Structure 1
Amino acid sequence: MAVYPSKDIDREAAGNARAAGSRARKKLPPRAEIAFVAPESPADDAGFEPGCFITTVDGEPVRDLIDWRWLSAEDEITVGYIDLDGEAGEVDLFRDEGEDWGFEFDGVVFDGVKQCRNACIFCFMRQLPDDMRASLTLRDDDFRLSFLAGTFVTFTNLSAEDEARIIEQHISPLRVSLHASNPEVRRRIIGKHAAHGIEVLDRLLAAGIEFHAQIVLMPDENDGEVLRETLGWAYARPGILDVCIVPLGFTKHQTCFTKSFD
């Protein structure tokens, strides 16, 4: 069973996930805050209200919207919850075939956004002034937001558990920041974890996960022969559906490049 993204989720969903970050730092269990309950739905019949939390489905934690869709696919489920009084419990929910459960959640990630651990020389966050809004400095690198919100990620922070989950739930297609296939170039422009990202990418491709790839093109870094090599590498892997090439963003606040590019 594949989990397909909803059309009404866009990049703003990534911003909605920021509040979950503090919970992750405090090591609290994931919980999905209910933002809306559809009238006369199974959720409404069970007495759920906005502000309540969903914590589990059939005993499994709900870490994000993908988990919710995966775990709630049947027409009879047992939902763990925390009500408006802070009391925890479980309730059995039933629905007719094709009926929606009636929940809408605040955000799409419920256990904290997975952070970037790279040192990309082209990172736009390193080219911003200090007084920019907080949402622009959230260095996310979360495969779930790649699927749900269309962000590009490197997979350099992917754990074995994450990798197994992507394969089991067939979370596809994903969007990968490729930039270069050459190991030395990747390490220079991405950082010391670059090799892990490309190894994970190849394993996921072998498992049938598909990708949209992106290259941030930098003069004298990953253009020319390096670019030809990268495109050949991608072409040899049918699971890479397309490659988007975007130019380097360059501002007066950057510190990685010593010259301006025409």
Structure 2
Amino acid sequence: MLIDKAVFCSIVQNADDQIVATASKDRTLRLWKIGAEQSLDQPKRISAFKILRGHTAAVQSIAAQPSGDMVCSGSWDCTISLYNINASDSEGDIVSVKKRRKDGEDREIQSEGEALSTLVGHTQCVSSVVWPQHETIYSASWDHSIRRWDVETGKNSLNMFCGKVINCLDIGGESSALIAAGGSDPILRIWDPRKPGTLSPVFQFSSHNSWISSCKWHKKSWFHLVTASYDGKVMLWDLRTAWPLAVIDTHKDKVLCADWWKDDSVISGGADSKLCISSGIPV
């Protein structure tokens, strides 16, 4: 299946299947099953099996629950929608079943699901969502705020303002409790919400020369992060030093996303249409 709008992706690993969840500017999410590998010369087959609807505007971000049972999405409609990806047709979230045709040929049946619940509070586009714990979702918005939501009650228990549009958010570091975010200035900000009496950042790093588009904690280190920026650079950070450990300058245009890969590598994508992998990074 082809989607003619920009797409954001999250890998969902649950007990039964490998599922890819994608969110699109067409206001929907889609769930895709990853089939078994047929042979070395035939890659795994990926097929869409459900369309999820719950937003009234383009979807900007998506994240999966750690258990793999649910996904959430943030949208330009200022809301966060939650979906149960394992619901069957008899559980009530299925609104229709369609068999689509193109050029006279039958295409596979896809069910359509609706959001189980919606989190309301942001006043501008929800640019990033993270689901680090079963009952806790973090969100960032162009309204300059970061919020922490209780999944069961739908209420936000933390509301921080940084004075800038926020493009990216991640949770990690010591005890997986630190909040890292970047936005419409060159500064990577890190908060520790466990510290009472203040919501000021505990770290601020400012070596980039333009907006920060992505930030990711290393999954096995309390101290290391990677950032991507519109200045065309990817930077590696250690909380124990004020300057980046390394600067990766392989892109010729804005870097739009970056993440850790296989623990000692960084993968990034940019407006120059390049996917770059930098290996052998000491962490």
Query: Is TM > 0.5 for Structure 1 vs Structure 2?
Result: no
TM-score class, shorter-chain normalisation, is under 0.3
**Which has a greater percent of strand?**
2
Length-normalised TM-score, structure 2:
0.26
TM-score by length of 1: 0.28
Q: Which has the higher contact order (CA 8 A, sep 6+)?
A: 1
